Amino acid sequence: MQERRLTAFHENIWTLHGKSIEDGVIRNCFGRGPVSWINGRDAAEFAVAALLHPERFDGPICHPAGAEELSHDDIAVILTEELGRPVRFEPVTAGSGVRNWSNCPPRTRS
């Protein structure tokens, strides 16, 4: 049986949680387990490699891993240190998480 890993794009932290981070909390339904955080550009390069060199991959499903796995509690600690104010993680149900994300503002490029 293949190991499953939750992988997420670190760029989505602000996209999905920017407003709630301003209020001092990250809410989502991913749970307290570790997440393999990757960059969208790295994922794109991985996809190109898979298309150009499929022989390098041992099966139809590949789960790219980030440099380290951090839980959302870990991310809250990092945000607390970087922002200089408390940020905590609050797990929510899947339905509640979807409702929270449906209120996300569109991401703007600076």
* Token couple for 91: 């797990």
Tell me if 109 is assigned to some domain.
Answer: no
Domain span holding position 27: 7-102
Tell me if 54 is assigned to some domain.
Answer: yes
Q: What's the CATH number where 42 sits?
A: 3.90.25
Q: For the segment 67-83, what is each residue's pLDDT rounded down to a tens digit? A: 888 999 999 999 999 99
Tell me if 36 is assigned to some domain.
Answer: yes
Alpha-carbon gap, residue 19 to 17, rounded angstroms: 6
Q: Which of 18, 28, 44, 35 is nearest to 95 (CA)?
A: 28
Q: What is the pLDDT of residue 71?
A: 92
> What is the pTM assigned to this prediction?
0.70
Q: Is residue 99 very low, low, confident or very high in pLDDT (cuts 50, 70, 90)?
A: low
Q: For the segment 30-49, what is each residue's pLDDT rounded down to a tens digit? A: 888 888 888 889 889 888 98
Alpha-carbon gap, residue 30 to 91, rounded angstroms: 7
Alpha-carbon gap, residue 90 to 96, rounded angstroms: 12
Tell me if 93 is assigned to some domain.
Answer: yes
Average pLDDT, the chain: 80
Domain count for the chain, please give it.
1
Tell me if 2 is assigned to some domain.
Answer: no
Q: What is the pLDDT of residue 78?
A: 94
